[in-house]
Amino acid sequence: MIRYILRRLGYGFLILLGVNLLTFVLFFAVNTPDDMARMNIGGKRVTQDAIDKWKADRGYDKPLFWNAQREGTAKLTETIFFQRSVPLFVFDFGASDTGRDIGYEIKQRIGPSAAVAIPTFLMGTFVAVMLSLGMVFFRHTRLELWSVALAVFLMSISGLFYIIMGQFLFSKVLKLVPVSGFSVGPDLVLFLLLPVAMGILSRLGSEVLFYRTMFLEEIGKDYVRTARAKGLSEAVVLWRHVLRNALLPILTSTVAVLPLLFLGALIMESFFGIPGLGSFTIDAINAQDFAVVRSMVFLGSALYILGLILTDISYTLADPRVRLG
């Protein structure tokens, strides 16, 4: 088991290194350190001395990958890539290009992101699983036909449409919930109702169809026919056998949303004014703050890889046919 975990961690390290390198190359293919300095200082008409000072203060006065003026290992270590990348692997995010402590910002913003993402994830998964089980129970009927059509219709609509229509209908017309904002006090539920509901609705169509396909595949297996031969009702077969055996694939499919539990939904947080990590990332992209962007990309990749490793371990422990080595 230990060798298995270490091997997966080694693969994860290489993936993180590749993601970090790709992010670095893409960003500096668009912007040079001089361009970043001009943008942060405030315009194009700035002196070269001010640009050089800004780069020196933030560590952008070094070569990108190779420092020919140094000797030995310093050729690699005295570079922007090395000094900006290595601390990330111990989750030392450093300071943003505007001087803010990225680690402090993450700690402050992870709460609002989780307050929206966790209920959306848990309730959305529960609703999608229940609806897909109902569709399988009523398969080959008109109810299933119209349910599939409705799911396809929901899946075809952009998530941005749900947000705008939800704000207009429930906030502007009915005045049931605030349009946007966030509160830590007793009003927290009011601010969360609309974004959570729209988050569930926007992903409902695709998830219902995905889980329905998964359950339809399960009901054709031998253990289901055996359960039916023993006289069990269709509802019991679905709830006790099909759902239980499909839980592991469902867990595997939900790993992709693990980073969203911490990084938040970018569009959702921006439109609803939630001060989470999603809006923090959007603001950094607009300001071309490379330090924040690379930190958020690295954190999201690390969480996704962690989810994959945990899923692999769970699958291996649940399947006795798989040998670890």
DSSP string across 198-236: HHHHHHHHHHHHHHHHHHHHHTTSHHHHHHHHTT--HHH
Q: What residues contact residue 325 under an 8 Å CB cut-off, 6+ apart?
A: 3, 4
38-42, 226-230, 280-284 — which is least confidently predicted? 38-42
31-40, 53-62, 232-241, 289-298 — which is least confidently predicted? 31-40
What confidence score (pLDDT) does residue 316 get?
Answer: 66
The CA distance from 101 to 23, in Å, is 20
pLDDT at residue 325 tops 50:
no
pLDDT at residue 121 tops 90:
no
pLDDT at residue 323 tops 60:
no
Averaged confidence pLDDT in the chain: 85
pLDDT at residue 41 tops 90:
no
What confidence score (pLDDT) does residue 254 get?
Answer: 73
Region 99-116: mean pLDDT is 89
What confidence score (pLDDT) does residue 277 get?
Answer: 87
pLDDT at residue 252 tops 80:
no
| Overall residue count recorded for the chain in this entry | 325
Q: What residues contact residue 190 under an 8 Å CB cut-off, 6+ apart?
A: 177, 178, 183
Segment 139-183, tens digit of pLDDT: 989 999 999 999 999 989 888 898 899 999 999 999 898 988 888
pLDDT at residue 230 tops 80:
yes
Using a cut of 0.85, tell me whether the model's pTM lies above it: no
Where is pLDDT greater, at 47 or 252? 47
Q: Which of 234, 222, 249 is nearest to 314 (CA)?
A: 249
Q: Do residues 274 and 195 touch, judged by C-beta distance below 8 A?
A: yes
What confidence score (pLDDT) does residue 261 get?
Answer: 62
What confidence score (pLDDT) does residue 27 get?
Answer: 82
Confidence of residue 211 (pLDDT cuts 50, 70, 90): very high
What confidence score (pLDDT) does residue 324 get?
Answer: 45
The CA distance from 11 to 17, in Å, is 10
